[in-house]
Amino acid sequence: MRLSVVGLGKLGSPLAAVLSSKGFEVVGADLNPSYVEAINAGRAPVVEPRLQELIDQSKGRLTATTDVQFAVATTDATFVIVPTPTGPDGVFIMDYVLDAAKPIGRAIAGKSGYHLVVLTSTVMPSDTQAKLVPALEKASGKTCGVDFGVCYNPEFIALGSVVYNMLNPDFILIGESDAKAGALLETIYSRSCEKPPVFAHMNFINAELAKISVNSFVTMRISFANQLARICDHLPGSDVDVITNAIGLDTRIGRKYLKGAVSFGGPCFPRDNVAFAKMAANLGTEAPMALATDKMNQDYLDHLASRIERLLPAGGTTGLLGMSYKPDTGVTEASPSIELAKRLLQANGKVVAHDPLALLESKEKLGDKVEWAATAADCAARADVLVILVPWPEYAGLKPGMLKNGGQDVIVLDCWRLLPFDEFSKVCHIELVGKPR
């Protein structure tokens, strides 16, 4: 079975590489010539752990083109993984998906056999059936469920661990137009995953709702943990990590995403949660928990900003360690660190910042208003208040001697509890989120 992947960005390139590394012949397609050139030259077009390794393993099986119709015409199944940006009303926009559907449909028109189209991009409930299927039928002149099949198959991944998540999914969600489509997709994943995955087959609407429900629910967990950390900050003797580790032992709860630290961000969590609430409103009902989660996330960011401002001496400088929205990625979309820096600058504070991967994106958003440190140690040496916002492993290697003035009169706010408290407390004032001392 030959496969095509339409969209070779942050998720599409890893998907193409994963599939080709497992023995499939894969043709990637993207209108961005730099992505296509990189793939054809054997280079990773985006930064993602293990991506280059898998591309190296795929020599002879992974190619790319800017001609979407050609890619589809020469393959048996097509994965569509293009952006679905959020509109002003909070609803996901289908424009890129529908643009891709035209050449896909034209290619299907010239094929004699059954072709599978897999929509991986996140969409609003009803969009697959109401928008994608008609677009494909119009462009192809053929009938979905008879001449070709469609599956809605969103990924549950996080940037920085995309390859691992694709190879080791908790489960595979398949919304299918017909049983043949779902069975073909299951065959592909049975070959590409590291271990036999669990499959959940259903209709389009249930799969679409399940996708945004997962992210909305996860954000509630994060916000609950942050709420607990905020309470612990006011309760001497409490420890948010002890509490979340304990309640996480309850099988009804579990420990994933249950760590009080910093507001959530990134390209998926905030927008999926907002879209969940907007969907409910459009249906004439409510999603108060989603709305409350979004408000709590913003309030917690205000809480952190106020806490830093209280700690900062007059004329002092805040050092921010970590500008990406999470470790192992340079993406700063909806990054709490970027928003925190903006709030501190608005309060006329001085900010110096560092990130191992996200300095370029951060500079584009914040410019020269922020001082940019080449290393974590450089950032630490210039800060009166040093804040660890992203748990990059290298930040755990900081030493007290790296602090400004050897730590004298320096305050460290360790949001992720990375640093050895006893060691740092000997030379500076260190505060741990959710662990009042």
**Residue-wise pLDDT tens digits, 62-114:** 999 999 999 999 999 999 999 999 999 999 999 999 999 999 999 999 999 99
Are residue 186 and residue 258 in the same domain, yes or no? no
**Together in a domain, 194 and 257:** no
Q: Examine the domain organization and report whether 125 and 167 are in the same domain.
A: yes
Give residue 114's region: left, alpha or beta (phi > 0; psi -120 to 50). Answer: beta
Instruction: Name residues whose C-beta falls within 8 Å of residue 405's C-beta, 6 or more positions apart in sequence.
Output: none
SS3 241: helix
- pLDDT over threshold 90, residue 437: no
Over residues 340-358, the mean pLDDT reads 95
Share of residues in the chain with pLDDT > 90 (%): 99
Q: Do residues 180 and 99 share a domain?
A: yes
pLDDT band of 348, cuts 50, 70, 90:
confident
**Structure-block tokens of residue 91:** 């609803």
160 pLDDT band, cuts 50/70/90, is very high
In a domain, 413, yes or no: yes
Exactly one of 144, 268, 379, 415 is catalytic; which is it?
268
**Mean pLDDT in residue range 384-413:** 97
Considering the domain architecture, whether residues 411 and 319 belong to the same structural domain is answered as yes
pLDDT band at 42 (very low <50, low <70, confident <90, very high): very high
Mean pLDDT of the chain: 97
Rounded Cα distance, 282 and 91, in Å: 10
Which positions ≥6 away from 332 have C-beta within 8 Å?
A: 323, 324, 325, 338, 358, 361, 362, 365
With respect to residue 379, please indicate whether it lies within any of the assigned structural domains.
Answer: yes
Are 9 and 96 members of one domain? yes
Same domain? 265 vs 327: yes
* Same structural domain, 178 and 268: no
Residue range of the domain that includes 341: 227-432
Element (H, E) at 221: helix 204-232
**Is 212 inside a domain boundary?**
no
Please give the Cα distance from 293 to 223 (Å, whole number): 6
Question: What integer pLDDT is reported at residue 330 of this predicted model?
Answer: 95
- At residue 345, the pLDDT reads 95
- Residue 219 inside a domain? The answer is no
pTM: 0.93
Indicate the number of domains in the chain. 2
Catalytic residue flag (residue 193): no
State percent of the chain over pLDDT 70: 100
Measure Cα distances from 395 to 10, 66, 280, 322, 402 in Å: 25, 41, 41, 9, 12
172 and 234, same domain (yes or no): no
The Cα–Cα gap between 272 and 92 comes to 9
User: CA-CA distance, 274 to 120, in Å (whole number)?
Assistant: 20
CATH code assigned at 237: 3.40.50.720
Q: Does the structure show a pLDDT above 90 at 294?
A: yes
* Residue-wise DSSP of 173-214: EEEESSHHHHHHHHHHHHHHSSSPPPEEEE-HHHHHHHHHHH
Q: Distance (Å, rounded) from C-alpha 29 to C-alpha 64?
A: 6
Among 169, 202, 235, residue at a domain's last position: 202
238, 183: one domain: no
Is pLDDT of 32 > 90?
A: yes
Residue 36 lies in a domain: yes
Q: Which residue has the tokens 């630290």?
A: 261
Residues 99 and 239 in one domain: no
Distance CA 203, CA 134 (A): 16
Please give the average per-residue pLDDT across 217-231, as a whole number: 97
Same structural domain, 172 and 319: no
Note whether residue 155 is domain-resident.
yes
Decide if 309 is inside a domain. yes
Average pLDDT over residues 243-263: 97
